[in-house]
Structure 1
Amino acid sequence: MTGSPLLSVIVAAHDLQGGLDSCLRSVLAQSFTDLEVVVVADPSSACRTDVAEAHRRGDARVSVVHLDATASIGRIRNAGAARARGEYLLFLDSDHLLWGGTLRAMADRLDACDRPDLLLFGHTRLHRGQSWPGAAAGLLAGDDGRPFTLAQRPDLLAAPAYSWDRLIRRGLWTRESLAFPDGLHEEVTAMHHALFTASRIAVLKWECVQIRRRHTQHPAGSPDGTPFDVFARYEDSFELLGRSGQSAAAPHLFTRMVRHYLFLLGLSGHLSTRERPRFFDRAGEHYQRFLPEGYERPPGREGVKFQLLSNGGYSAFQAARLPAMARALLPHS
């Protein structure tokens, strides 16, 4: 391949579900061809280097980065970004699929918006035969088609900070020294940093990526990561927000933080029985520490959970969860 492509698709080769081949095929079969695919593998047994190398031999647009030691998913993605030559970066995992025509739609939207720093788009999640739209679907649906800044759409911070539902201009990545940290929940601060510093943001109202796992945490995880890494991520995000001077976005980032903590408290297997009270206490401390002046909690049952976290009563929080857990165990008609 000569010259620099428009898109660099960076794929982590960890493949616990046997989806890497399908993922790469969904990218390489796109009608849009001005792209490169950078597959990154470490020496762990979870990486399908044979699949990656087979695609490299069969398609000149594919390259494979072999890391010398087992690495966190953050370092894996950083290594792919360092190798990339495209104008825009797209980070995918082996259990992601691109729908046909999506890369062409992305390229057309980039041109129509005069090459923004970020292009946000939708996704779907497939689990046990059921598919549903991502958490940002409602926010993206309200877009009026014109490029904007975060100051104009601070509500976008209320959406989960994923790396695979956006294109990031490589110039922004290098100019701001963006990088994923080691540990778990590595996307949070990096993607918030990109939003805070993007001069122009645009939306493509397509559900471009399908995720074929129930939860968002990457299977590779991090050799030294813990569930408590998430607290450092939001501390960093609020520090970046303060430096950006976009105080109007604080309530939206706060809402995203609390929703994330509540999600992790309810996520089966993420926290041990011993870890749960300590995690709850840390989450409650962050609630009080980052609570914006005049903040209004969400309505309904979600607002009750916010209040319980604010009050710091783990026993009351657990008691409130029991009816919902019991309903989840009942057979569905």
Structure 2
Amino acid sequence: MPSPLISVVLPAYDQQKQLTDCLESLLAQSFRDFEVILVADRSPEVSADLADAYAAQHPNVSALHLNAAVGIGRARNAGAARARGGYLLFLDSDHVLPPDAFDSLAERLAETGEVDVLLFGHTRRHGGRDWPGGAQQQLGTAGGAVLGPQARPELFGAPPHSWDRLHNRARWSDLALAFPEGRYEEVPVVQQALMDARRIAVLPRECVQLRRRHTLHPTGSPGSSHFDLFGQYERSFELLDARPALEAVRPHLFDRMIRHYLFVFDLAGCVSRAERPQFFQRAAEHHRRFLPAGHRRPAGREGLKFSLLAGGSYPAFEVAKLSHIARGAVTARAGRLRAPEPAG
């Protein structure tokens, strides 16, 4: 049997009952040269029966059963080891694809020839609206040339998702890439894949839609926590330190790390009230430890948050945040109380 162009690795987590929609969007693709590997471990959120049902009905879908609850990272590793396609695409159950997504990816690959990584855009569906993905700026300015990471350092400023890019499967295997334990396991893996890529291409169109408000994957491995994020970025900087030719990547990776820490810190339900001081101090320590020489902070409110984190004072950070919230509430109230303009 000939190998397909794309192997989709999809852990069968279905906590939000969205796996069926994801699978149907894959099966509706106008481009048919792909396979789907549904990985079902023993986690309670996994729908093994649904995976088996789709595998029985569709010849390009297979179910891979694991005999323990291993989490997203190891499930992806197992699926990648089973894959036969030229390129790997790692999805989650809350992703859907437009019917022409694979057609667009195949057309881009026909233009570029074989690449190690092909990055593409995504949107987030929340509150009845579509929101642009976090890599929109980097993809929009990257251009059409196929280049290595030395010429594309700005791509390391994009969110390190595993599901907004195709990975060359042979290169993935040659580099012995694998998702580590813990949450945010995609961070060092996709960044290493970019660091060691010889040919990187970009497709500046949205090929995946994320149907949750925030880009956090469903679950980590057993015993994982949001504090795992610090270890994942430590791995990323260790990889970068071993590649002196990629020094231009450092400020972009640093900004991405700090943005990621601030995002998780501010996101309701991630870091508990009791854990917030410790999380802040870990983030501040990484700011000091990994700050590039001559670094320029972002402008505006984001730059202020960078500055407060660099200062290392959790109380000052919270006071500034409360002050901003209070100013926003006053502004909103003033807008509601302002007399309407005369008609005509």
Q: TM-score, normalization: structure 2?
A: 0.94
Q: Are 2:258 and 1:258 equivalent residues in the alignment?
A: yes
Q: Distance in 1 between matches of 2:114 and 2:20?
A: 31
Q: Does the aligned pair in 2 maintain the 1:120–1:165 contact within 8 Å? A: yes
Q: Which amino acid aligns with 2:283?
A: A
Provide the rounded CA distance (Å) in 2 between the counterparts of 1:281 and 1:294.
23
Name the CA distance, whole Å, in 1 between partners of 2:190 and 2:325. Answer: 32
Q: Which residue of 2 aligns with 1:296?
A: 296
Partner in structure 1 of residue 242 of structure 2:
243
Aligned to 1:279: 279
Residue deviations 1:128-184, cap 9 Å, x none? 212101011111111221111111110111111000000000011111111111111
Number of the residue aligned with 2:228: 229
Partner of residue 125, structure 1: 124
- Distance in 2 of aligned mates of 1:312 and 1:259: 16
The Cα offsets for residues 250-274 of structure 1, whole Å up to 9 and x where unpaired, read as: 0000000111111111011111111
Partner of 2:157: 158
Letter of the 2:207 counterpart: C
* Cα distance in 2 between the residues matched to 1:156 and 1:27: 27
Alpha carbon RMSD of aligned pairs, Å?
1.5
Residue matched to 2:85? 86
Contact persistence 2:183–2:219 (CA under 8 A) = no
For residues 292 and 145 of structure 1, do their structure 2 counterparts lie closer, same or farther at Cα, with a shift above 3 Å needed? same
SS of 1:24's equivalent? Answer: helix
**How far apart, CA to CA, are the structure 2 residues paired with 1:325 and 1:131?**
25
Give the partner amino acid of 1:315. Answer: P
Q: SS of the residue aligned with 1:81? A: helix
Q: Give the SS at the match of 1:195.
A: helix
Identity %, equivalent residues: 52
Q: Which runs of 5+ in 1 are unaligned?
A: none
**Residue equivalent to 1:181:** 180
Matched to 2:307, the amino acid is Q
What is the CA–CA distance in structure 2 between the aligned matches of 1:108 and 1:148, rounded to whole Å?
18
TM-score, normalised with respect to structure 1: 0.97
Matched residue, 2:141: 142
**Residue-pair matches, total:** 332
- Provide the rounded CA distance (Å) in 1 between the counterparts of 2:320 and 2:129: 28
Deviation, 1:328, is 7.4
Structure 1 runs (4+) deviating above 6 angstroms are 328-333
Q: CA deviation at 1:104?
A: 1.0
- Say if 1:135 and 1:159, in contact at 8 Å, map to a contact too: yes
Aligned to 1:306: 306
SS in 2 for 1:151: helix
SS in 2 for 1:131: strand
What amino acid maps onto 1:128 in structure 2? Answer: G
Q: Which residue of 2 aligns with 1:59?
A: 58
The separation in 2 between residues aligned to 1:270 and 1:67, in whole angstroms, is 28
- Which residue in the other structure is 2:339 paired with? none
Which SS does the other structure have where 2:78 is aligned?
helix
1:4-23 to 2 correspondence within 5 Å?
Answer: 4-23=3-22
